[in-house]
Amino acid sequence: MLISGGIWQMIAASGKIAQGILLLLLWFSVISWAVIVYKWKVYKKAKSQSQKFLNLFRQKRSFSDSFSSLAVMSGTPLSRILATGYKTVQEMVRENPVYVKQSNPKISLSTEAIEEVRSAVQRTSNEELEKLERYLVFLATCGNVAPFLGLLGTIWGVMDSFHSIGVKGSASLAVVAPGIATALVATIVGLAVAIPAVIGFNYFNNKLRGFSVLFDNFSSELLSQIKKEYPL
């Protein structure tokens, strides 16, 4: 407690610029931890809902049955991909007969129509990935910038110590301690901000690649189901 109190006193005695750097690092730390907790909850929910949705989807026998039965799970990423595919197919069947080959007893979609459905599904998949990727850039920024801010605080603290020696004409501990304390604390705080941010970014980025594979696989299954129901 005495050591901790002494450090705070020395930081309080340091210059405004050094204190500003430490406050900025503290702000980075608070926001990065908020992002980490938020993204962890979002990814956990998305993974759980997607797995449940996928299991139910694979139990359905037809494309139309899948959409009507899974409409209750409209808040999941996979449900939005399914909705895009379903609506695109229905629009083609209803409004774009040029893309539809009528045959008995089933409606057949042309190759061009299937490709248009594929493009629409891919766009929605990319949009869902972009939503999941949101705020990760802040963690990357913290991981890259925080060590340099800590280094800046370190250099400034050392410069402040030399300045104090020049002004006081003495190199006693009382003269150099505030600057040295600020320098060391800035280094520690910079690393303390950067390390969790880098770990969090790498963790979520790895999870994001998993979601990308999941969305691609689901899109392929969806297109296969569409081709079965609307054969070429």
Residue 2 lies in a domain: no
**Which comes out higher in pLDDT, residue 82 or 33?**
33
**Where are any strands of DSSP class E within the chain?**
100-102, 107-109
Residue range(s) defining the domain that contains residue 24? 7-229
**pLDDT (tens digit per residue) in 186-232:** 888 889 999 999 999 999 999 999 999 999 999 998 888 888 877 76
Residue 102 lies in a domain: yes
**pLDDT (tens digit per residue) in 17-64:** 777 888 899 999 999 999 999 999 999 999 998 888 888 888 776 666
User: What is the chain's mean pLDDT, rounded?
Assistant: 80
Residue 1 lies in a domain: no
Q: How many domains does the chain have?
A: 1
Residue 181 lies in a domain: yes
pTM for the full model?
A: 0.80
